[in-house]
Amino acid sequence: MYAGVDPVTGKDSYLSESTRDEKKIPEIRSRLLAKVDRQRNAATKATLAYTLDAWMEVHEAGESTLDDYRALIERTIAPALGDVPVSKIGAHALERFYAQLRRCRARCNGKPFVEHRAADPHECRSVQHRWRPGRPSAKSQAEHDCVVAQCKVVECADHVCKPLSAATVRKVHFIISGALAAATRWDWIASNPATEAKKPKQTAPQPKPPTSEEAVRIVAAAWDQDEDWGMLIWLKMVTGARRGELLALRWQDVHLGEGVLEIRRSFTQRRGKAREKDTKTHQMRRISVDPDTIDLLQQHQRRCQSLLEQLGIPYNESAFVFSYEPDHGRPCNPDGISHRYAKMCAGLNIASHLHTLRHYSATELISSGVDIRTVAGRLGHGGGGTTTLRVYTAWVAQSDRQAASILANKMVRPGATPPGTSGQDS
């Protein structure tokens, strides 16, 4: 049954159905006509890979988000479903795919095999000599003990199943669903099967912020290393701002007289490309800071101005607050900041990464009785506190128990002696 011209290939498209019963031919013909008329069958033979590419061209998201999507498409989705026409993808196929990823990201069949490190012919076990033969050095040409010289042994390892996390599988589902939704809008398919597929449950977040004692040690260690580094870690703790938001801070955003920081932008650096962009929620927010933080920021500003004077560079309000450049014209590298923090905490024997300081700020505020909307506003969470509640439920419950104790302490149990009385008649 002719179904029109394929919008992707430009070729004629046909629908087909077979039967061994000649009497059913009129019924099949009517059914195929109905499919064509109501566009209930795909008008294209576009594959999922082609659809994903077309969707990525028009999908609006941050550059870092798009990079993550491209990586998942290339590494996970395309090898499994890329060659499948979108017209043949159903909810059952998607659910089977998600189940495979939850068992093993390589979608293995459960049988043992060797994960080769290269597709070309190679030796599965080789030694990378520290002193390679043939180098113009008597020491390298001489025979040596590989153990003593600490030569590196490289070999292909046996496969070990590593499941994808539920959060990553949900992201895979979002990508496929977005592409199929676009295919539906473009009349390539009649409906989006991803809307019917059951996606993995969202696991409850379990943030592990440093304890108060660990936070004191972290700040002290940062200040011992470098005053500017200590200021960055301090501000990260007291504001709970995201890494990129703090690095994008300019002095014109710091209002020391008012005791307010304006979070307007975020700084990212991906694949060697640095750029400023909107905040995650695309909204500017103002964060109040305490007098001690204002004093520390003033000292930090004076250090920056003093350095610029020594270099003969005029001070500019548009300079970045945190920078390794002499003129503060470029923010610190975000990944470098995270690596430095992780290395510092490892030296302190504290299991922590930079983002946990955001959790630390939130949990300390909630545990101290600060309302959720205020905490959400400081963190830049959208949804009026919905995200804050979902992530920090445990600490909300803790604050709720504290509230119950406060009320109970102000009451007098029936039959108990009121405070301030001896319990005897005068």
User: Please, which residues have CB within 8 angstroms of residue 284's CB and are 6 or more apart in sequence?
Assistant: 262, 263, 264
Most confidently modeled range among 81-95, 289-303, 409-423: 289-303
Mean pLDDT, rounded, for 205-231: 91
Q: 109 vs 190, which has greater pLDDT?
A: 190
Question: For residues 283 and 348, is the Cβ–Cβ distance under 8 A?
Answer: no
User: Which stretch of 31-35, 316-320, 343-347 has the lowest confidence by average pLDDT?
Assistant: 31-35
Task: Evaluate if residue 367 carries a pLDDT over 50.
Answer: yes
Quote the tokens at residue 163: 């499941």
What is residue 285's predicted lDDT score, i.e. its pLDDT? 92
Q: Kindly indicate the confidence band of residue 142, based on its pLDDT and cuts at 50, 70 and 90.
A: low
Instruction: Please give the pLDDT value at position 415.
Output: 67
Domains of the chain in start order, with CATH, are: 2-38 (no CATH), 48-109+163-195 (1.10.150.130), 114-158 (no CATH), 214-332 (1.10.443.10)
Distance CA 370, CA 135 (A): 67
Grade residue 41 by pLDDT with cuts at 50, 70 and 90: very low
| CA 234 – CA 330 distance, rounded (Å) | 21
Give 144's contacts (C-beta < 8 A, 6+ positions apart): 129, 130, 131
In this prediction, residues 9-26 reach a mean pLDDT of 84
Give every CB contact of residue 257 below 8 A, 6+ residues apart in sequence. none
- Per-residue pLDDT at 270: 77
H runs (alpha helix) in 39-165: 48-58, 63-72, 78-81, 91-103, 138-141, 146-149
Question: If you average pLDDT over every residue of the chain, what do you get?
Answer: 84
Q: What is the mean pLDDT of residues 11-40?
A: 81
- The pTM of the full predicted model, rounded to 2 decimals, is 0.68
Element (H, E) at 153: strand 152-155
- Tokens standing for 148? 């003593």
Lowest-confidence region among 190-194, 236-240, 267-271, 417-421: 417-421
Lowest mean pLDDT among 3-7, 245-249, 350-354: 3-7
Could you tell me the pLDDT band of residue 424, with boundaries at 50, 70 and 90?
low
Q: CA 313 from chain center: how many Å?
A: 38
Q: pLDDT higher for 233 or 13?
A: 233
Range name among 1-10, 214-223, 234-243 with the lowest pLDDT average: 1-10
**Would the pLDDT of 77 be above 80?**
yes
- Which of 26-30, 66-70, 143-147, 207-211 is predicted least confidently? 143-147
Residue-wise pLDDT for 283-300, tens only, equals 899 999 999 999 999 999
Alpha carbon distance 363, 261 (integer Å): 21
More confident residue, 338 or 118: 338
Asked whether the predicted pLDDT for residue 40 surpasses 50, the reply is no
- Check: CB of residue 379 under 8 Å from CB of residue 388: yes
